[in-house]
Structure 1
Amino acid sequence: MKNYKKYIATLLAVGIVFGTVGCGSSADSSSSKKDDDSFEATENVEVADAEAIEAIPDGVDGTILYLGVQDLNPTRGNPEKSTELTLFESKGGSIQYSQTSQFERFDKLADAIMSNKDVPDIVNYEWLSFPAQVVKDMYQPIDELVDFDQPLWSGVKSTADQFVLGGKHYVAPLTFVASSMLCYDTDVIEAEGLDDPYEMYLEGTWDWNAFEDIMSEYVSGAEAGTDRYGINGFFRQHFIQQTGKNMVNYNQETGEFESNLKDPDIEKGENALYEMMKSNLIYTDWVGSARDAFKKGCLFYAMGDWAYTGTNTPKDGENWAIVPHPQYPDNPQKITTSDMKAFMWVRGSTKPEAVKCWFECYRSAYSDPQYLETNKQKFMENNPNWTDEMYQVKMDVQSDEYHMIFDYAFGVSSMLGDPNSFDGNICLTDALYNYSSQIVEDSQMTWAQVREKYSATVDSEIKTLNESIKKFNSDNA
């Protein structure tokens, strides 16, 4: 249990963007705005103007106040100006950064709304944003800003429809990143005579069975006195969600959320993870990068691409590859457990024109082919030992071909989605996904035991949420 708590706590500390940690967290920025005033932002790749996006009208305040833990403007640690910010500034906009910490961000937002002082226009979407914070009147619906029938937004309409209350949308998906992919060393695959996961991915045979087989074959081939493991990292939630199922569902007919802990597909996933742990395929200690995981004898390292890019990117002579998480054989649908980039429009913001423009610039930066190529050039310049095949997998799993899955369990309440409300290191929903393949209090629980231990709490929290939704819908009718 101590190793797992250390593992999750470290995830929180290193700054996994969007919502990679189970509870949708991102880390505090170590750089402050005043420290960054003396440097110039780099612009290594030219960004063409977006003629289809209307400029912010003359006389309208184009400065958006953004409350977050990491600046959207260039910083000393990240000096390259993003494509979306370049576009926004060309339309008369700018971002004013209001810094907060990982542990104070919700309180600071609530205080600003209550006092009606220094109310931010936008904050990052996090899993706790919906529905838990929406029903607390912290955000505005975005339907007046976004027309999901327009070409710019039509590709993300099905995802946006997952974030509707009272017939109103509260989230405009801007782009997606797989919160975890599987990185591996192709030299190891070749040396061991193993089937290449990337080739299986291209052939459509990369599923749970192939995944378990290749790990078992690798581990069983260890020489005497040598430790080998199949996988390390952030993968359990992703493995289970390849079934297409969540711990908590939303019933469109009743307008209520419901527990899904008794779903048979979830049980199959949990039982499979249980057996992987029993078979010693999982290395449970925290490892901070793909390279370090490989040195520990792990075949796969599961994490967001931050762990194998930037300072962790392949070095000269290293030959790595990445693949999506393997598909569930009973449901070969293309599924991504997604980190969705979006911003919540804060209750009390009075800058719809600027926020609308920012949304459009951001969405264009990650959907318009010319900007996708711009982003690729920037990425490959900073990660020269990534292959085109690696980059294509990264783009595949965030494309419209994949169903972006989000578990409402993380957003039901602080009890289910906030580590500080559970044990300070992990939230209760993390426990649901992870405890059947962890050593918890010196033993490994079965899924049936995990479900029995926490189902009453899940039911109680959902009941409270449904009552809050009824009142929210009535007040906002």
Structure 2
Amino acid sequence: MNVRKLKSGVAAILVAGLSMSMFACGEKETSSYKSLDSATREEVAQIASADDRLTGELENKTIKWMSNWDINPDGTGKNTPIELAIFQERYGGQVEYHMIDWSTRYDSLANAINGDEGIDFFPASDLDAFPRGAIRGMFVPVDDYIDYSTPLWSDVKQANDMMLWNGKHYVIVNQVTGDKCAVIYNRKTVEEAGLEDPAALYKKGEWTWDAFQKMLTKFVDPDEGFYGIDGWWFESGLSATCGVPYVGLKDGKLVNNLKDPAIERVQNWMYDLYTTNCVAIGVGDFGWTAQPTYIKEGKTMFYPCGLWAMYCSADQWQNNFGEDAFFVPMPKDPNSSEYYIPCGLDGYVMVKGGKNPQGVAKFAECKRLTLLNERAAELGEEQMFDDYGWTQEMVDMKKSMDELALANPYFDFYTGITPDITNILDSNENGIRASSKGTPWSESVSAVYAQIDAFLKDVNDHPVSDTVKTE
């Protein structure tokens, strides 16, 4: 089905989550540099001039973007994003790309700041920039340039207020997304196993931990080559469903929640999944490497992963997951009154020493307009979604996941503070993955709780650095 004809409301929710989609699914390279066709460009110009939510002018029309991916059209064949086209047409703006390697991006940023290169903005979508960048003196508050109480920002004000640090907003959250971690599966495998489709269970309000585990226990048989949960993202994905982050933010202070009963409950459940062979990695002949193609081959039931794995051409995602691949949100915690899922975000942070913060604010407003202006949303959907081979049902499921995320925003800050905290809590030894690898949560908490407490106290006592600190 051609998703070009879907309602613009669906498109508006989907567009923002796809700005980085062109480097997903194996980063397929082409030599094509695309630009908008003349008719689309003309329509964008009309939108940009007619919508009164965009105000003022820009004296400095260039904003400097530092990232491992380009907002502009590039050699991947990516077209001009609608928000960039609006920025160009309304303000005469342009984005100057400063390319860096992802693994050393914070060192590169620190060097650029200290060298007075005037980098204006940096991606927040990796969820490791906040509050890390404020703590290290790399980012600056955005409050002087963006008013989150205005109609352009009102629907994401709650999410932006969750990013307050030292009394200031340090993140520009354009959109909360539900695509950070979904349960990818193959419908043919589910049907042949005599099980009910997770999408049907979700529609009935029955997609819970219990349903998830029941499907696994009926399917898994390592001796026969049938496995349960694959991948390296499911622990954080399942953890999010309890609604309590490992490291939260309350009243402007980071909070250690490792002893919270909800965290203990989800960790004990993951330990139970391990003891019943429901976790694929390390079981039987599966090995210690993720095997996404086992979804296509009918050997594995679930592959929890970010939907970036399906933000690519159909032949690419079908190569891993098969023609009958589908996805649903992470299952609901049956003990929670709300349905929490892992939340991603589309957004930016303003860099210390930037020369054009006003330009960044105007570009962010263009992004918001792409979501809120009905025709701009349609153009964004038309531009991006035909290439993925998605069905309307897939798009509707993604929309539903985004609605869940916006209704109950969940952010865990343990990856956005210091590398020490991230390394401890990401470890297989005593971190959040340990229970699914055979270590009881009580042992992990005893081993790391005091360390995490000490790190958080130091950060809370010294929330903002006046000088730029490297890792």
Same fold? TM cut 0.5: yes
| Secondary structure at 2:201 match in 1 | helix
Partner of 2:163: 163
Distance 1:19 1:41 in 2: 17
How is 1:19-418 mapped onto 2 (pairs within 5 angstroms)? Answer: 39-41=33-35, 46=40, 48=44, 49-50=47-48, 51-54=51-54, 57=57, 60-91=59-90, 92-116=92-116, 118-125=117-124, 126-177=126-177, 178-219=179-220, 226-233=224-231, 234-252=233-251, 255-284=252-281, 285-287=288-290, 289=292, 291-295=293-297, 297-311=299-313, 312-314=316-318, 318-384=323-389, 386-399=390-403, 401-417=406-422
Distance 2:182 2:235 in 1: 12
| Secondary structure at 2:266 match in 1 | helix
Residues 470 and 320 of structure 1, relative CA distance in 2, 3 Å threshold:
closer
Residues 29 and 307 of structure 1, relative CA distance in 2, 3 Å threshold:
closer
Q: Looking at both structures, which has the greater relative contact order when contacts are Cα pairs under 8 Å and sequence separation is at least 6?
A: 2
Distance 2:219 2:383 in 1: 36
CA contact (8 A) 1:236 1:433 kept: yes
Task: Report the alpha carbon displacement of residue 17 of structure 1 after superposing the two structures with TM.
Answer: 8.8
Distance 2:408 2:20 in 1: 17
Q: Deviation per CA, 1:341-384, whole angstroms, max 9, x where unpaired? A: 21111112231331111101112223433333333333431122
Query: Counterpart amino acid of 2:115?
Result: S
Q: Deviation per CA, 1:357-416, whole angstroms, max 9, x where unpaired? A: 1101112223433333333333431122x2211111112222365322111222232211
Residues 102 and 17 of structure 1, relative CA distance in 2, 3 Å threshold:
farther
Distance 1:97 1:154 in 2: 30
Query: Counterpart amino acid of 1:236?
Result: E
| Secondary structure at 1:249 match in 2 | strand
Partner of 2:5: none
Query: Once superposed, what is the RMSD of the aligned Cα atoms?
Result: 3.1
Residues 273 and 76 of structure 1, relative CA distance in 2, 3 Å threshold:
same
Task: Report the alpha carbon displacement of residue 108 of structure 1 after superposing the two structures with TM.
Answer: 1.8
Residues 164 and 44 of structure 1, relative CA distance in 2, 3 Å threshold:
same
Residues 154 and 360 of structure 1, relative CA distance in 2, 3 Å threshold:
same
Distance 2:429 2:143 in 1: 32
| Secondary structure at 1:105 match in 2 | helix
| Secondary structure at 1:95 match in 2 | strand
Point out the more displaced range, 312-321 or 125-134.
Answer: 312-321
Distance 1:466 1:263 in 2: 20
Task: Report the alpha carbon displacement of residue 71 of structure 1 after superposing the two structures with TM.
Answer: 1.0
CA contact (8 A) 1:276 1:437 kept: yes
Residues 288 and 203 of structure 1, relative CA distance in 2, 3 Å threshold:
same
Distance 1:115 1:131 in 2: 23
| Secondary structure at 1:327 match in 2 | coil
| Secondary structure at 1:454 match in 2 | helix
Distance 2:52 2:458 in 1: 45
Distance 1:123 1:28 in 2: 23
Distance 2:426 2:297 in 1: 30
Name the count of aligned residue pairs.
Answer: 428
Task: Report the alpha carbon displacement of residue 158 of structure 1 after superposing the two structures with TM.
Answer: 1.0
CA contact (8 A) 1:56 1:353 kept: no
Distance 1:236 1:317 in 2: 24
Distance 2:343 2:218 in 1: 30
Point out the more displaced range, 183-192 or 42-51.
Answer: 42-51
Task: Report the alpha carbon displacement of residue 295 of structure 1 after superposing the two structures with TM.
Answer: 2.1
Residues 369 and 449 of structure 1, relative CA distance in 2, 3 Å threshold:
farther
Partner of 1:6: none
Distance 2:455 2:345 in 1: 24
| Secondary structure at 2:380 match in 1 | helix
Query: Counterpart amino acid of 2:266?
Result: G
Counterpart pick for 2:448 among 449, 454, 457? 454
Query: Counterpart amino acid of 1:300?
Result: F
Task: Report the alpha carbon displacement of residue 193 of structure 1 after superposing the two structures with TM.
Answer: 2.0
Partner of 2:285: none
Distance 1:429 1:55 in 2: 50
Distance 1:203 1:342 in 2: 33
CA contact (8 A) 1:366 1:372 kept: yes
CA contact (8 A) 2:25 2:312 kept: no
Query: Counterpart amino acid of 2:359?
Result: A
Task: Report the alpha carbon displacement of residue 41 of structure 1 after superposing the two structures with TM.
Answer: 3.4
CA contact (8 A) 2:148 2:157 kept: yes
Distance 1:431 1:120 in 2: 38
| Secondary structure at 2:188 match in 1 | helix
Task: Report the alpha carbon displacement of residue 471 of structure 1 after superposing the two structures with TM.
Answer: 7.8
Distance 1:334 1:197 in 2: 16
| Secondary structure at 1:330 match in 2 | coil
Task: Report the alpha carbon displacement of residue 241 of structure 1 after superposing the two structures with TM.
Answer: 1.3
Task: Report the alpha carbon displacement of residue 166 of structure 1 after superposing the two structures with TM.
Answer: 2.8
How is 1:411-430 mapped onto 2 (pairs within 5 angstroms)? Answer: 411-417=416-422, 427=426
Task: Report the alpha carbon displacement of residue 433 of structure 1 after superposing the two structures with TM.
Answer: 1.7
Q: Deviation per CA, 1:103-156, whole angstroms, max 9, x where unpaired? A: 32111211222232x120001114332222202322121112221111221111
CA contact (8 A) 1:415 1:428 kept: no
Distance 1:215 1:319 in 2: 19
Task: Report the alpha carbon displacement of residue 267 of structure 1 after superposing the two structures with TM.
Answer: 0.8
Partner of 1:441: none
Distance 1:55 1:251 in 2: 34
Task: Report the alpha carbon displacement of residue 428 of structure 1 after superposing the two structures with TM.
Answer: 5.1
Q: Deviation per CA, 1:197-238, whole angstroms, max 9, x where unpaired? A: 111111111110111111111225x8xx52112221221111
Query: Counterpart amino acid of 2:312?
Result: G
Distance 2:210 2:445 in 1: 25
Under a length normalisation based on structure 1, what TM-score does the superposition of the two structures give? 0.81
CA contact (8 A) 1:187 1:319 kept: yes
